[in-house]
Structure 1
Amino acid sequence: MCGILGGAWFAGAQIPDVRVERALEQLRFRGPDDRGVEAFACASANVALGHTRLSIIDLSSGGHQPMKTTDGRYVLVFNGEIYNYRELRTELSNAGRVFTTDSDTEVLLAAWEAWGEQVLPRLIGMFSFVLLDQQRATLTCVRDAFGIKPLFYTVEGGQFLFASEVGAIKALKATPMQLDWQRAYDYLVHGDYDSCPSTFFDGVKQLAPGHVMQVDLHTSTLSEPRAWWKPTIKERTDLSFADAAEQVREQFLANIRLHLRSDVALGAALSGGIDSSAVVCSMRHVEPDLPIHTFSYIARDSDVSEEVWVDRVNAHVKARPHKVVVSAEDLVRDLDSMILAQGEPFGSTSIYAQYRVFQLARENGVTVTLDGQGADEMLGGYSGYPGQRLRSLLEKGRVGEAWSFLNEWAQWPGRDRMGGAKRCIAEMTQGSLYQALRSLNGMRRTPEWINREPLIERGILQEFPHQRAEVNESGRRLAAELGLSLTRRGLPALLRHGDRNSMRFSVESRVPFLTLDLVDLLLSLPESYLVSPKGETKSVFRAAMRGIVPDDVLDRRDKIGFATPEQALLGSMIDTIREWLRHDLHLPFFDQAAALREFEMIMAGKKPFSWQVWRWINFCRWHSHFLG
C-alpha cells in the first residue's frame, strides 16, 4: 500500500522539484517505509513520477518504485495490492517472462506489458496506478472497479498533475486551491459528497471508479475518462436459492483466502454485524491456526453499543480482541488530525470511531486489516431498498407480492409501511416533482443559513443531487440501484473514509467483499435472493454463512454499525464548537451567524438534533485548514 504522485510539464516547463518533494511529504503516512521519484523527458513533456511505500508484499528493496520494464519502455507507480499476483506470475512465467522480485508491482508491470488494458478485469485487488509508456509517449491513469484506492488529478496552466491525496495535489500546484461552490452547497444542505468526479476543490477531480484515462505527451491533451468496467444486472435463472448460496459461499471464502496474503501481521476490523463477523469467522474457517486480532469501537454505556456481539464473535473464533472507547475530549483532540487525513468534509462522527480502530491496530503492531465494507451495497443493506424492490415487483405486475412485501418489510425494527410507501413513491418520481416531494418532507433547498443570491450569480444548482440508476432490464430496479451504490453514490464515500483513516496510521485496509467475481454473481441473482419476500436483507449471504458464522449473529435484526452517540459527544463541547462556527470563512453564500443561531436552538432542545450540526462543524474546520 502506497502513495503516488507526479505530473507532466509541457512547453519547456521544468519539473518543480521543491513542490514534488513537498507533495511526497504529504503522502508520508501512506508510505513510511520507502520513497522514490524519477524524472523523464518524453516527447514534448517533462514527466515526474513519485511514490511512497508501505511494505506489505516482498518487504525487500525489490518493491521500490517507480518500477521499469527491462527495456525501459514502461514505468509504473502503483498504489494498492494485487491479491492474485501469484497466479498471474505463474501464467506469465510459463510464457517466458523472467521475474527478479517477489512483488505484485513487478507482476502488474509485466501483465500490462503482455496484455495491456485487457488485464484490468483479471486483476483481483485494489489499485490506482499511472503508467508511462515512453515509446508511445502516453501517461495512462487507472483506478480499480470500486474506487477502493484514490486518484486525484488537475490541469493547471496546461500542466497535468496527479496524486493519491488532495493534500499532495495542493503541494504540487503553483497557485492556491479554490472552493468548488457546488460541492460545498451539496454537502452543507443535502449531505452529498463523493458522488461524482468533482471534489470540494475547484478544478480538482478524482478519476471515477472503474475508469481509465490517458495523457498524450505529444499534444499535451487529456482524454475523457472512460469506463473499463460497469456493473451488469442481467438476471440468471439457472440457480436455485440453495445453489446460489453455495456459490456465494465458495466465492466469498476464495476471496478471504486471497486477501490473507501478506508478509506482515494482519487482523480484522470487527463491528459485530453480519458483514465484519462473516469476515472474521471466514478467516478462522479457511485458516484454522491463524492468530486473529480484532479491533473494535465500543460505545460503552450507550444504546448504540455493539459490544455483546463483538464478544460473541471473538469467543466463537478464539480471537484476541482489542477495543477502543472514545470520549468528547478525544474527539476534540483528534478532530483536526482526522480532517487533515480525510482531505475533504465527511458525513458524521461515526468516521471517528473508524479512525480510532485503525489507530488501535497500528498501536498493536498490525499493518493489514480485513473489513466488511461493500456488503451493504451488494446485498441490500440495512433497509433493503424497499422503494426499488417494490417498483421491481410492480413493473412485473406482481401487485399482491408487492403489498405482501411491504407488510413483511415493515415488521423489522426501524421500519414502517408509510416509510416504505414513501420510498416507493420517491423511486417512481423525478425532476421537479421529486424535488417538491423532498420539500414536503421537510428537506429545504435554501435553509435560513444559506444566501441564495450569490449561488444564483454563480449558476449553482440548488436542488438535491439526484442520481438515477441505469436500468436496461425490466423489474431489476433493486439490482440497478445496488450497481449505482457500488460505484457512484454510497460506497465511494465509505471507501474514502476507510482509505484515509487507515492510511493515516499506515495501515492497509482490505475489503474482501469487493471483487468483480462476487459482485457479478450477486447482481445477477433474482432480487428476492438478496432481499427476501419477508424483508430480510442479505438473505442469500446469511444462508451462505450458515455453519461458519453463529446463527444468532446471522439472525440479527438490530445492526447499528460504527455508530457514535453523536448528540452527546457534540453536546459536551458546545463552547469549542461556538468558536469554530464564529471563525469567518468569508463565503457569501454561507450565513454563519444564522447557522450559529440555529446551533444554539438545537443544543437548547428547541429544535430537533440532526447531522446538520456536524456538517457545519466539519465544513468550517476543513475550510480553515485547506482554504483559510
Structure 2
Amino acid sequence: MCRIVGGWEFKGKMGLLDSIEKMRDCMSAGGPDDFGLYTQRHCNLALAHRRLSIIDLSSLSHQPFISENRRYVLVFNGEIYNYKEIASKLVSEGVRCEAFSDTEVLLQSFEYWGVECVREFEGMFAFVIWDNLEQKLYCFRDRAGSKPLYYYFDGERFLFSSELKGILAYPYLQKSINKEALSLFLSFGYIPAPFSILECCFKLEAGSYLIVDKKANITKYHYYNPKDSYLQSHKFTWDSFISHLQKSIAFRMVSDVPVGVLLSGGVDSSLVCAVLKDLGYNFESFSVGFVESSFDESCYAKKVADILGITNHQFICHLQEVRGLIEQLPFVYDEPFGDVSALPTMLLAQKIAKTHKVALSADGGDELGIGYERYFWSMQRWQKYHYYRRFKVAWVLDLFSAEFVIDLFSKFGISIGIDKFLRIKNQLKATSFLEHYRAEIMHFKKEDLFLNHLPFKSVGEEYSCLDYYAQMSYFDWCYYLSEDILTKTDRASMNVGLEIREPLLGVEFVKFMQGIPMDYKVHNGEGKVVFKQYLEKFFPRSLIYRSKMGFGVPLETWMRKDLRHLLEGILDYAEGYLDVHFVNKLVRAFDAKKRVDFSKIWYIYVFCVWRKQWNI
C-alpha cells in the first residue's frame, strides 16, 4: 500500500520537475517506509512514490519500479493478492518471473499481456506505467474502486495522484470549483466519479484505465462493468457460496506483517471473523463504541469475539476526541466529504495503527447482500405512492409553494418538515424506479439546488431490465461504494499508515453474489438472507437477526450543544457558491429545533472548512 503522484507537461509553464517532491511528500503519511522518484527531463515527465511496506519488506520492491529492459516504469498503490498464481501462469507461458513481490509480477504481467493484464488481478490497486518506447502513460484503477486515482488535465499538463492534495501542491493549477461536482456533493454527501470538486480534475472510475500519449490525447476504457454480473444469473449452491467466500477472505490475509480485523458486531464483520476463525487464522479484532447507547454496538462486537474466542480491543469515541478529528477532516479528506462515519473510522484507524499495519474491513456486504434499510424504505414507498402517481398528485402540489402546502397540512393536524415534503413530491413525480430511489437518498433536493443557483446533475444509468433491489444495489455499487464507503476507509487508514483491505470484494465472490437469485438475499422485507443463514452455524439467532444500527455518530446532538460554535464565522466561506439567505434560514431553523435534515447543515459546514483549508 502506497501513495503515487506524477505528471507530464506538454506546453505552457513548466513546474512539475521542481515541485514533484513536494507533491509526493505531502502524502508521506500514506507511505512512511520508503520513497522514490523517476524523471524524464527531455519531456517534463515525473513519477513519484511513497511506500508502506506490506508484501516484500525488502528494498527489491522499491518504486518507481523499472523493468529489466528499462522500457517500462511503474508506480503502484495497492496489493495484488494472487501475484504468486499469476507468476506461475507467466512461468508456464515461458516468462522468467521470480515472484518476489506483487510489484514485480504486476509489471511483468503488463509486459506480457499489455492492458489485458488487469483482468488477471485479484486485489485493490491504482497504478501508472510509463512506456519509454511508445511515449505513453497508462493509468489503471481496480474493479471496485478500493484505491483512488485523481487526474488533472487542462490541455497543457496531465497530473495524477492518489489524493487530491498531491495535485493541489502543483504550482500552476487552475483552482476553480466545479459547480456540478458541488451540486452532487450537497445532494449525496460525496462526489461520484468521474467528477471532482475542481474544474479540469477528475476521478478515474472503478474498473477503468486511461492512455495518455505525447500529443496530449487521452483515451479512457472500461475493462469491467458490474452490470454484466447483475445480468448473468447464477445457480445458488451452498458449496459455491462457501468456496467463493472463503477464497475471497483468505486472499486478503496475504501479508508479511500481522493482520487485524475491524469488528462492529454486525452481520458483515461477524461473517469475516467467523470465516477466518473457521479457516484456522489467528487474529485480533478492533471495535469502536459510543457513550450514547443508541449508537453503540460494541456490546455485540464483544459477544461475537467471545463466542469465536478472539481478542477484541474496544475504544470509545468521546466528544473530546471528535473535536480534534473534525479539525483534521478537510486535510485528510482533501475534497468535500460528508459521511459523518468518517470520524469514528479515523479514530479506529489511529488506534489500530499503533499495533498493526494491515486490517480487514467488511465493506461491500450491504451492496452485495441488499442490506441497507433505505432499500426497503424505497420499495415500500414506491408501492405506496403508486396510486398517487397515477393521478398526478405531484403536479397539483407543484402549483403551490412548499411552505403553503406544509402550512395547509398543519391546519389539518399533519406535521411535516420541508425536506420530507420535497422528498415525497419528487418521488411522486418520478418516472422510473431509479429516479424514485435517487429522490430517497438526496439531501439537497432539486429545489434546494435551484435556490442556490446550482445545476441539478443526475447520475446513474437506467436499467429497467433489473429488478428494483438490483437497480438500487447497482447504483450504490457504481457510486456510493467506491466514492463514499471505500474513500472513507482509504483516507482514514492511509493518513496513519494503515492498510485496510476489503475481504468481501473478491472478484469471483462479487460475481457470484451479484448473479444469484434475489430470494437468497431478500426475504419478507429482510436483507442478507444467505449471510445470516450461514452465520447460524456460529452464533445464536438473537445476535444475527437484530435491527441494523449502521456506523453513525451522535453528531447532530453534539452540534446543537457542545459543537455549535463550529458554525460561527465559517459559514462566510459559503458566499459566492451558496445563497446566503438560504444558508442563514437553514441555520435559524436548526437552532429553533425545527424539522431540518441535519446532513444539509453538515455538508455546508464541510464545504466551508474545505475552502478555508485549501484557500480556494
Match of 1:366 in 2: 356
TM-score (norm 2): 0.86
Instruction: Identify if the C-alpha distance between structure 1 residues 545 and 236 changes in structure 2 by more than 3 Å, giving closer, same or farther.
Output: farther
Q: Aligned to 2:182, which of 184, 189, 192?
A: 184
Amino acid at match of 1:462: F
Match of 2:279 in 1: 286
Instruction: Identify if the C-alpha distance between structure 1 residues 155 and 381 changes in structure 2 by more than 3 Å, giving closer, same or farther.
Output: same
Match of 2:409 in 1: none
Instruction: Identify if the C-alpha distance between structure 1 residues 104 and 39 changes in structure 2 by more than 3 Å, giving closer, same or farther.
Output: same
Match of 1:34 in 2: 34
- SS where residue 199 of structure 2 aligns? coil
Matches within 5 A, 1:534-549: 534-549=524-539
Shift of 1:207: 0.4
Match of 1:206 in 2: 203
Match of 1:94 in 2: 92
Whether 1:385 and 2:375 are equivalent positions in the alignment is yes
Matches within 5 A, 1:143-542: 143-188=141-186, 190-217=187-214, 219-233=215-229, 239=235, 243=237, 245-288=238-281, 290=282, 292-363=283-354, 365-383=355-373, 385-386=375-376, 426=427, 429-430=430-431, 444-447=445-448, 452=452, 455=453, 460-462=454-456, 465-471=458-464, 474=465, 476-532=467-523, 534-542=524-532
Tell me, yes or no, if the aligned pair for 1:278 and 1:549 is still in contact at 8 Å: no
Whether 1:605 and 2:602 are equivalent positions in the alignment is no
Alignment partners' CA distance in 2, 1:571 and 1:11: 52
Amino acid at match of 2:106: L
Instruction: Identify if the C-alpha distance between structure 1 residues 238 and 26 changes in structure 2 by more than 3 Å, giving closer, same or farther.
Output: closer
Alignment partners' CA distance in 2, 1:469 and 1:214: 28
Alignment partners' CA distance in 2, 1:173 and 1:113: 34
Alignment partners' CA distance in 2, 1:385 and 1:601: 29
Alignment partners' CA distance in 2, 1:96 and 1:480: 44
- SS where residue 32 of structure 2 aligns? coil
Amino acid at match of 1:573: D
Alignment partners' CA distance in 2, 1:133 and 1:343: 30
Question: Which structure 2 segments of 5+ residues have no match?
Answer: 385-419
Match of 1:571 in 2: 560
Alignment partners' CA distance in 1, 2:228 and 2:433: 29
Alignment partners' CA distance in 1, 2:494 and 2:307: 30
- SS where residue 79 of structure 1 aligns? strand
Amino acid at match of 2:6: G
Shift of 1:372: 0.7
Q: Deviations over 1:214-261 (max 9, x none)?
A: 0012x2211134344443245666735xx1x33122111111111111
Q: Aligned to 1:625, which of 602, 613, 616?
A: 613
Alignment partners' CA distance in 1, 2:436 and 2:93: 58
Alignment partners' CA distance in 1, 2:80 and 2:286: 24
Shift of 1:305: 1.1
Amino acid at match of 1:269: L
Alignment partners' CA distance in 2, 1:369 and 1:100: 27
* Identity, % of aligned positions: 27
Amino acid at match of 2:323: V
Shift of 1:304: 1.8
- SS where residue 128 of structure 2 aligns? strand
Shift of 1:201: 1.2
Tell me, yes or no, if the aligned pair for 2:437 and 2:472 is still in contact at 8 Å: no
Shift of 1:38: 0.7
Q: Aligned to 2:118, which of 117, 120, 126?
A: 120
Whether 1:52 and 2:43 are equivalent positions in the alignment is no
Q: Deviations over 1:549-601 (max 9, x none)?
A: 55433322x1212111122222233452232434x226334234652453243
Query: How many residues are matched?
Result: 578
Shift of 1:332: 1.9
Match of 2:583 in 1: 595
TM-score (norm 1): 0.85
Alignment partners' CA distance in 1, 2:438 and 2:312: 47
Greater Cα shift, 430-439 or 167-176: 430-439
Q: Deviations over 1:277-328 (max 9, x none)?
A: 111121211125x1x2212110124212112211111112222222222233
Instruction: Identify if the C-alpha distance between structure 1 residues 271 and 442 changes in structure 2 by more than 3 Å, giving closer, same or farther.
Output: closer
Q: Deviations over 1:46-88 (max 9, x none)?
A: 3211110000000000110111111111111110000111111
Match of 1:17 in 2: 17
Alignment partners' CA distance in 2, 1:79 and 1:228: 19
Tell me, yes or no, if the aligned pair for 1:370 and 1:509 is still in contact at 8 Å: yes
Alignment partners' CA distance in 2, 1:312 and 1:442: 36
Greater Cα shift, 315-324 or 258-267: 315-324
Alignment partners' CA distance in 1, 2:256 and 2:433: 55
Alignment partners' CA distance in 2, 1:90 and 1:619: 49
Instruction: Identify if the C-alpha distance between structure 1 residues 157 and 373 changes in structure 2 by more than 3 Å, giving closer, same or farther.
Output: same
Alignment partners' CA distance in 1, 2:302 and 2:19: 48
Instruction: Identify if the C-alpha distance between structure 1 residues 67 and 281 changes in structure 2 by more than 3 Å, giving closer, same or farther.
Output: same
Tell me, yes or no, if the aligned pair for 2:71 and 2:133 is still in contact at 8 Å: yes
Shift of 1:157: 4.8
Instruction: Identify if the C-alpha distance between structure 1 residues 183 and 111 changes in structure 2 by more than 3 Å, giving closer, same or farther.
Output: same
Alignment partners' CA distance in 1, 2:308 and 2:326: 34
Alignment partners' CA distance in 2, 1:427 and 1:95: 59
Question: Which structure 1 segments of 5+ residues have no match?
Answer: 395-418
Greater Cα shift, 488-497 or 252-261: 488-497
Alignment partners' CA distance in 2, 1:380 and 1:95: 41
What is the root-mean-square deviation of aligned Cα atoms in Å?
3.2
